[in-house]
Amino acid sequence: MNGTVVKNQLIFDFASGILGPAKSLFASTYLELNSDASKIGNIFENMLGENLMDNENIHPKNLKYTDCMNNKNIKSDSNLKDPVTSFFGNLNNLNWKQVYKGFKEYTASIDDKDELKLIKMDPGVSVPLHSHGGKEYILVLEGSFCDEYGKYSRGDIQINDQKIKHTPIASKDTGCVCMSITEKDVIFFGKFGSFLNLFTFIKSFFKQK
């Protein structure tokens, strides 16, 4: 599976404005934290800008340039913040829900088919082996984690599909805060079966050291 293509697809879909609100927030944060992704996004927006230069002309019927100079809805100085702060405010003030010791999450109230969550893991905490029903996108906001496939630091994303099983572990020094998008429920493996959700699974079987 070519992860690069999936990442590019996310960037291009964002650049062209076809993502839903959850993924738009995710992708804009990704572009903010990751300069490589930002470059790709810029290049693609330049290409789309070229398309605009060559676009056909459909003249607006009732619009003159003077109408655009007296539009009070547009303010010249909005206080721009980064996407995470502007949506969530200070992360420390969020009503985090503890899933198990050392693992907290916060689900954003976004009306979308995709679910967007923030995940906070204390240093050294791990997530039991699992896979995914749909795609899962994880973006590291602070700290880092590693799994069987590598180490992921601030600005890195991991995109997981049904074929991937992994056991992420938060960095022993820093822990990590991530943003995640899930398209469908996570599936657990092992003798406990896939019908268990994360919460009950952890509650029943996961003993925090």
Q: By CB under 8 A, name the binding residues for another protein.
A: 2, 4-5, 8-9, 12-13, 15-18, 21, 24-25, 28, 31-32, 35-36, 38-53, 55-63, 65, 67-69, 71, 73-76, 78-83, 86-87, 109-112
Cα separations in angstroms, 7 against 40, 83, 95: 10, 19, 30
Q: Beta strand 103-107 with 136-147: parallel, antiparallel or unpaired?
A: unpaired
Distance from C-alpha of 86 to C-alpha of 4, rounded to nearest angstrom: 28
The smaller minimum CB distance to another protein, of residues 54 and 173, is found at: 54
Cα separations in angstroms, 128 against 143, 160, 163, 165, 167: 19, 15, 16, 10, 6
The smaller minimum CB distance to another protein, of residues 60 and 150, is found at: 60
Q: How far is the CB of 88 from another protein (least distance, A)?
A: 11
Q: How far is the CB of 31 from another protein (least distance, A)?
A: 6
The smaller minimum CB distance to another protein, of residues 87 and 100, is found at: 87
The smaller minimum CB distance to another protein, of residues 79 and 204, is found at: 79
Q: How far is the CB of 187 from another protein (least distance, A)?
A: 26
Q: How far is the CB of 82 from another protein (least distance, A)?
A: 6
The smaller minimum CB distance to another protein, of residues 115 and 122, is found at: 115
Q: How far is the CB of 116 from another protein (least distance, A)?
A: 11
Distance from C-alpha of 194 to C-alpha of 81, rounded to nearest angstrom: 41
Q: What angle do CA 120, 126, 129 make, to 5 degrees?
A: 120
